[in-house]
């Protein structure tokens, strides 16, 4: 299990960031360091409306952290003495990575808001068959692929494209950072810029 905690102090703008990784290769103390790049923020109690905060964070079903495009090419080759049959099919489409707002767990302790959510996941993919690029080289004595065979080739390309996206750890890390920024912005609007600490916790089994 990798547990990531990120602490952000809000006073109109982001003032302090603290990262701690446990079981992820290196460790830093969870306690803030004594030196600071910004002046200390005075603590004062502020009422935070939990219900209003939840409503604001769940106005949409998903918080999309990254929207991108992807493509994948697969080939089919069947060489016979009486002629070759070769196909190359390329799927192109879009994807979204983010977090379902139902998965957000928000708690409040004084001026600190803790937001827990799982690692971003692949929310949607769209690789339309009708815009796939199909190139073929079929001998005169050979039959074209059937519609079912083309669909199978398309399915192989689509699956490959999705697997490529899932292996792109940089994309998921970028999406996670973007989701955190979106949540921070929403919290800032709900709390009217009062001095609030936002702590993100991301737990992965």
Output the tens digit of pLDDT for each of the chain's 205 residues: 334 555 555 544 333 333 333 333 333 333 333 333 334 444 555 678 899 999 999 999 999 999 999 999 999 999 999 999 999 999 999 999 999 999 999 999 988 999 999 999 999 999 999 999 999 999 999 999 999 999 999 999 999 999 999 999 999 999 999 999 999 999 998 887 667 899 999 766 5
What span, in angstroms and rounded, lies between the C-alpha atoms of 176 and 63?
10
Q: 10 Å Cβ neighbour count for 132? A: 20
Rg of the chain, C-alpha, whole Å:
24
158 closest CA partner among 71, 68, 76: 71
Q: Are 131 and 125 in contact (CB under 8 A)?
A: no
pTM: 0.76
């Amino acid at each position: 299990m990798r547990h990531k905690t990120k602490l952000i102090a809000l006073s109109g703008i982001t003032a302090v960031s603290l990262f701690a990784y446990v079981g992820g290769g290196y460790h830093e103390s969870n306690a803030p360091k004594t030196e600071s790049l910004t002046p200390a923020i005075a603590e004062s109690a502020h009422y935070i409306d939990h219900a209003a905060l939840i409503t604001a964070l769940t106005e949409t079903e998903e918080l999309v952290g990254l929207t991108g495009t992807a493509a994948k090419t697969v080939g089919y080759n069947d060489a016979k003495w009486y002629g070759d049959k070769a196909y190359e099919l390329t799927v192109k489409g879009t994807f979204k990575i983010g977090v379902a707002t139902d998965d957000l767990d928000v708690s409040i302790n004084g001026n600190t808001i803790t937001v827990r959510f799982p690692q971003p996941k692949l929310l949607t993919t769209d690789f339309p068959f009708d815009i796939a690029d199909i190139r073929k080289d079929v001998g005169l004595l050979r039959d074209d692929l059937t519609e079912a065979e083309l669909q199978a080739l398309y399915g192989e390309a689509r699956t490959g494209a999705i697997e490529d996206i899932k292996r792109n750890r940089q994309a998921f890390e970028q999406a996670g950072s973007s989701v955190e920024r979106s949540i921070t912005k929403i919290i800032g609007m709900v709390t009217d810029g009062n001095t609030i600490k936002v702590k993100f916790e991301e737990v992965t089994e």
